[in-house]
Chains A and B, each alone.
Chain A
């Protein structure tokens, strides 16, 4: 018998010899405590004194939110995201956007002055609200929320060139077990809907050992990493993107004893996972019918945020990746500790629209990867999507959320 086997038997024998530990509480006393606690909980669940109070407050909040939504879609919808390098054309554009903005403001003022009858006014306001909602720019970021669980996952673009980080947001609990999601990614990410590819982990079982900052992978015998293949190259990157945000810095590979190597990695049983730093985020969209996703196109390639922001002005049509910052924009970057201030040149007019929101969110993610915790945007407008630009914006938890209920 091998020494290991005999040792295991010894451990097993010792465990089986553990003494019985009995409860000294009396059965009736225990039942009394249990039923007393149950009754107490029942009484605390009694009907509220004013059952109408919560629905009423709810209704007031809804009305308030409607007013707020209406106000947060200012008429600068027509304030477009113009990209012009020619100054003379730019001047004209600025004038026209300004005038359309003023015109819209004027329209609002006249509405408010009551020159239109009440019914007409409310109908028009309703139309405005609907218009606003339809055209509202949608955010691709998630921020801390103690009521939900975030699970960092990653997919690939169909050409297996880039990794795309995503966040599964389980709104039903704030204590979700991440292994549950990692072990069945395909059930939570619709590849077709996003036009992305899930790494074929298939029968690999993930076991997260938080205390050791490790993720253990039980690798079945038929799982191979073909040397030189795109998928083999992605293996470590995908694991890093998924697990490193949760401070898991090593993957332990549990291979069958009969295997003496693991594809291109050779004879290893541990794979260090790398922190995803100094990235530059752009926009991925294969087809207009699919949602846009924010993806990092470079990691650890640039030393400064300025360099990464310059990179973000370049599109990569061969990979269906769009620049997130217009090429004509000149940026000035100033940092102080964890705060970075980004000022935009006046040659481009920004509006409260999806393109500007994409740019801000790509910059927030890029700044986060350079270690900043807040970004102040110094541009001509005060509101973009859900953000008020008058104060510094905190960097997010992650990007590209998929909400699970």
Chain B
């Protein structure tokens, strides 16, 4: 088991952690999820048939574990909201994480786009992270997500449209601020 872990860790760990981190945007949660991913991967390592590449197999497990995590979080949030009866405005209560140091030191535009990622759907976010932050090819992204290439392209197109719109709105907001000063 150690040998399999070493092999996967040496080849993919940096990318794997980064993917999970950008999905959940919380270091502690990313650490917990990555641990869960290794447990799942090592438990099913003997069943890997090599029909997809080891890399896309590993990332598809990571994506499923991350989505499970989101679902659990959503259920937990729903229970809390039901308990406090925040009613219709419950969805407005945001779960904001502090901006990590790596992002905080970057320029305004990068910080802005980092926050805009949360406005995308989970599917769009997965595609954007895999394609642009992890530099996966369209084919690799399709294999990881278990989609067709055309679905990847459409989702990517929609995600970029959303981000572009948000970026424009941000720019306009900045201009208005400068004008009013």
Given contacts A7-B164, A211-B121, contact A23 B113 (CB under 8 A): no
| Closest chain B CB from A203 CB (angstroms) | 9
The digit string for A210-228, where 1 denotes a CB below 8 A from any CB of B, is 0100001010000000000
Residue A16 lies at the interface, judged by CB distance under 8 Å to chain B = yes
B76, chain A: closest CB distance, angstroms: 16
- Compute how far the CA of A14 lies from the CA of B109 in the bound complex, rounded to whole angstroms: 7
Alpha-carbon distance A172/B122, docked complex (angstroms): 24
CB within 8 A of B113: which of A11, A175, A254? A11
What is the size category of the interface that chain B forms with chain A?
35 or more
- The interface residues of chain A lying within 8 Å CB-to-CB of B18 are 20-22
B178 to chain A, nearest CB (A): 19
Asked whether A37 lies within 8 Å of B133 as measured between CB atoms, the reply is no
B window 106-125: CB within 8 A of A? 106, 109-110, 113-114, 121, 123
Q: Is A202 an interface residue (CB 8 A)?
A: no
Instruction: Tell yes or no: A267 within 8 A of B by CB.
Output: no
B1 at the interface (CB under 8 A from A): yes
Name A164-220 residues within 8 Å CB distance of B. Answer: 175, 205, 207, 209, 211, 216, 218
Do A23 and B150 touch (CB < 8 A)? Answer: no
User: Taking the complex as formed, is A25 at the interface, i.e. its CB lies under 8 A from any CB of chain B?
Assistant: yes
Closest chain B residue, CB of each to CB of A203:
B150
Residues of A contacting B109 with CB < 8 Å? 14
Selected contact of A30 from candidates B35, B105, B150, CB within 8 Å: B35
A-side contacts of B38, CB under 8 Å: 30, 34
**B168 contacts the other chain (Cβ, under 8 Å)?**
yes
Contact A21 B39 (CB under 8 A): no
Q: A10 contacts B167, CB within 8 Å?
A: yes
Does B94 sit at the interface, judged by CB under 8 A?
A: no
Q: Give the interface size bracket for A toward B.
A: 35 or more
B79 → chain A, closest Cβ, in Å? 15
- Interface hits, A20-39 → B, CB 8 Å: 20-25, 27, 30-31, 33-35, 37-38
Cβ contacts under 8 Å, B160 to chain A? 8, 11-12
The B interface, classified by DSSP as helix, strand, loop or mixed, is helix
Decide yes or no whether A144 CB sits under 8 A from chain B. Answer: no
Q: In the bound complex, what is the Cα–Cα distance between A84 and B160 (angstroms)?
A: 67
Tell whether B62 is near chain A: CB-to-CB under 8 Å.
Answer: no
How many Å lie between the Cα of A218 and that of B154 in the bound state?
A: 8
Report yes or no: B163 in contact with A207, Cβ–Cβ below 8 A: no
In the assembled complex, how far is the CB of residue A158 from the closest CB belonging to chain B, in whole angstroms?
A: 31
Q: Which residues of A contact B121 (CB under 8 A)?
A: 209, 211
Task: Give residues in B with beta carbon < 8 Å to A.
Answer: 1-2, 5, 9, 13-14, 17-18, 21-22, 27, 30-31, 34-35, 38-39, 42-43, 71, 100, 102-103, 105-106, 109-110, 113-114, 121, 123, 128, 132-133, 135, 148, 150-151, 154-155, 158, 160, 163-164, 167-168
| Between-chain CB contacts (< 8 Å), 18 pairs | A4-B164, A11-B167, A14-B167, A15-B113, A16-B135, A17-B106, A20-B14, A21-B100, A21-B102, A24-B27, A30-B35, A30-B38, A31-B2, A37-B39, A205-B148, A205-B151, A207-B123, A216-B158
Give the interface of A toward B (CB within 8 A).
4, 7-8, 10-12, 14-25, 27, 30-31, 33-35, 37-38, 41, 175, 205, 207, 209, 211, 216, 218, 254
- Of all A-B residue pairs in the complex, the 6 with the closest CB atoms, nearest first, are A15-B132, A23-B17, A19-B102, A34-B38, A21-B21, A14-B113
